[in-house]
A and B are shown apart, each in its own frame.
Chain A
Amino acid sequence: MSERLDEAAVGRLAPGLGLALPRGPHRGRVGEVRAASTGSALELHDFRAYQPGDDLRQLDWNAVARTDELILRVRQDEVSPRVEVVLDGSRSMALSPRKAACARELALLACEVGARQGLSPTLLATGVRSERVQGSACRAALRALEFDAKDDLVTALGRMPPPRSCGLRVVVSDFLFEADLPAMVARLSRGAAGVFLVQVLDAEDLAPTGGEGARLVDSESGAALEELLTEEVLAAYARRFVEHQRVLRAAALRSRGALLTAPATETLNALVMGPLRPLFVAGGRA
């Protein structure tokens, strides 16, 4: 378990993994994956009446002979879908070095696996200076990424241009902020065939330690709260956390996505084999 971006671990894992693409139609450049649009693939999608302007090559002459009407074969297009990795660049992602490293590693792993899968990965980092990089530049961007945004992911997304259509969108964040979670998830899933919310959480996020008084300082806004971390207070935190997770998970499901919680304390391999198994499937190709 490294506290820095462990590119070697990512390199070891990426060749044997593939991103779990959704079964629905995709959008993208011409490729091998069935697209949502009609195209020239061999697989028949539908029949319809000919309309002026249609490709005459797609006329089903047998049907024309039988029915004496111009029947057109509608074939589904085959595209190469894109994968878009959104990485939350707020300060809370660097709550601990391990949390920051884990977030970087997961984003890099998604990019690497996507690239190997031919999905032309795109990385969107929502720091103070939002970045949008593609391809091999993702690795360099992740190396140089600073978790320095003083606002949460929702606010940061508002500063960015509207999301483009893509096949798969992987959002790496801790999702620990007060917001309209269903609206946020709906926005993240807009234009994507599938969305995975990868929630990276530190050990203190999952189970904060107590026993004494403390000045709780918000990592992003700097606001402070005096609190005695008694058992009651910790129990109240746990209750609110569970409720927050429930709402987030329900929002993800409504948007045909999934919430995957990745404890930063675990190794990358353990995460891939464990809670992130729905995203990273073994075998190299979906």
Chain B
Amino acid sequence: MSFGFPWGLLALGALVPLVAAYFLRRRQKPVVVSALFLWRTPRPRAEAGPRWERFTREASLLLEALAVIAAALYLSDVRLGEAARTKHLVLVVDGSLSMSARGPDGVTVLELARREAAKRVEDEAATRVTVLATGLSPRVVAGPEAEPSRALAALESFQSRGADHDPMPTLLWAQELAGAGKHVAFFTDAAPVEGLVIPAPVRWTALGTARENVAFVSAQRKDDGGTATVTLRVARFGAGPESVSVRLRALPGPDAKQGTERVEKVALQGEGSATVRLTFQNAGDVEVSLPDDALLEDGQARLTASPTRPLAVSLAQGLGPLERDALERFLAASPDVARDGAAGETLLMGPRGTDAKVTVGATGKVRTFVGPFFSEKGHPLLDDVQLAGVRWSAGENPPGHPLITAGDAVLVSEEDDGRLHLNVDLSRSNVQRVSAWPVLLGNVVRESRRAREGFVRRQLTLGEPLQLVTLPGKRYTLTGPSGGKPVFGAGAVSLPPPAMPGRYVLERDGADGVDAAEVLALDARESDLRGRGRADVPARESGDDEARANASDRARWPLVLLLLALVGDFYVTRRVS
């Protein structure tokens, strides 16, 4: 048992007058009378019943003393058992990739932070520890208010591989968790920049070391047929080597018997960067690496094969010969387009009046326009569509939102469900013979490709948001290195940047992955280790870490005991009328 506010025990002094009053009352002079019945109010209770009244005064004294003791215990903030001595320590660890950088002795900054955290916990004899990690999205590593051993164990398994970010939101959150007047320990690898306003209770401890570093700042792979083109950008931060060897190792692909390994020597001029582009045939995953330096993580990348998925396009029955020819001519020249694909969603093009995704044709009275044409500015379907010199013959206005108009005629419209109507009579128009035709259809194919289920981009670097497309009515789960989480929303969804690099798989309805994306541990700002160093900025306000006198944390049972004692005293001292 301990007391958070021992001065509250002074309330026990109220026992002295209480007991004194009891004994003073007990010593009242006895007055012998001839008969008591003239003094006593007649009691309805049978005289042969229990003589509880005999003990009334003693019971009242005991209950009143109990009430005083309960009040003193509450005021003194009594704590029993585990709550007897509780000291909460909130630790914040920088979750950025640079914390994994090694110092001259080969020890990572994160390891130093772990040691310092354990030392703080031991020095301050904390009984409850909360560990937070900064990041684009702050997260709890241990706690809240976990046992110190569990918190330190969680910190031991924590990996800091996040993108560059602002730690302030995490520090403010830690301040809230610690409570008013309590200190927060923040471990990072760089001193605060000039002018940065650190929250008053935060002690900023920088454990980094300024190092030189050579890193990949970007790595991309493009698969075109059986050819994989790998583009790497290598940068040097600080006075490093003039040249660096880039090691590329291509694992064998499905049709290859063995892999390929190359070493490219890259010259680094000044503090600039150099670009390396290599191609591999029938390659599986390609592993690229730089020689070991201060930060290993930014010198390694695994580029998985991400072949482009061809868009299936089919032409519906009923198209006129002119329309069919014009569409066939475009599709024949369009890359990554598969005709009549069996799998996946198909882009159906058909005549006017059908439910095809894209309709071509005009009905009703046909009018020909040579301009001026009015286009909806900025619409992705109209990117680079130039209608100068075009003679456009259109019939009745199609339904939907107009995209291109001429006079009161709607030439191109789009419905809410994405269906596109090209109100054109190709027999009287020259649209299909000008550049606007393939550009317009190219935009249609591009948007259809973007609307396909899966990730918009399959190779990302740290700090880039995950953009993906989901189908309505389906349930998706995004599984990554830190576990899976559901994806809410239909259509184009933009998820916050992943906290960890690695492979992220989009799963639909708990089945196999629909698509996968690779987040590479590359961040130029994190690879620049020149500004790192050691610093210890104490908290600007002196906290009261010892006293945990928070009224809301006080034990409630003394109040209950006090209430019961008062009610009991009221009961035993009541007067029966």
Contacts and interface: CB of A to CB of B under 8 A. Distances in A.
Are chains A and B native binding partners rather than an unrelated pairing? yes
A219 B38 contact: no
A176 B32 contact: no
A224 B34 CA distance: 12
B333 interface: no
Interface stretch (A4-12, A207-215, A265-273, A275-283): A207-215
A225 B34 contact: no
A61 interface: no
A237 B30 contact: no
A176 B35 contact: yes
Interface string B23-56: 0010011111111111111000000000000000
Contacts of A92: 34-35
A216 interface: yes
B39 A215 contact: no
Indicate the member of B25, B36, B40, B57 with the most A CB atoms within 10 Å. Answer: B36
Interface string B202-240: 000000000000000000000000000000000000000
Given A213-B28, A214-B28, A95 B39 contact: no
* SS class, residues of chain B in contact with chain A: loop
A219 B32 contact: yes
B26 to A, nearest CB: 9
Nearest to A201: B34
B54 to A, nearest CB: 9
A204 interface: yes
Contacts of B25: 213, 226
A216 B35 CA distance: 9
Contact of A224 (B30, B35, B41): B30
Given A214-B28, A214-B29, A215-B29, A178 B34 contact: no
Nearest to A209: B31
Contacts of B36: 216, 218, 221, 223, 225
A214 B31 CA distance: 6
B37 A178 contact: yes
Interface string A229-268: 0000100110011001000000000000000000000000
A237 to B, nearest CB: 5
B34 A216 contact: no
Given A214-B31, A217-B31, A244 B38 contact: yes
Interface in A53-111: 92, 95
A225 B39 contact: yes
A217 B36 CA distance: 7
A217 B33 contact: yes
Contacts of A201: 34
A103 B33 CA distance: 17
Interface string B46-90: 000000000001000000000000000000000000000000000
A218 B33 contact: yes
A47 interface: no
Contact of A177 (B28, B35, B40): B35
A205 interface: yes
A43 interface: no
Given A95-B32, A216-B33, A226-B57, 16 more contacts: A92-B34, A92-B35, A176-B35, A178-B35, A178-B37, A202-B34, A204-B34, A215-B30, A217-B30, A217-B31, A217-B33, A225-B40, A227-B39, A233-B39, A237-B38, A237-B39
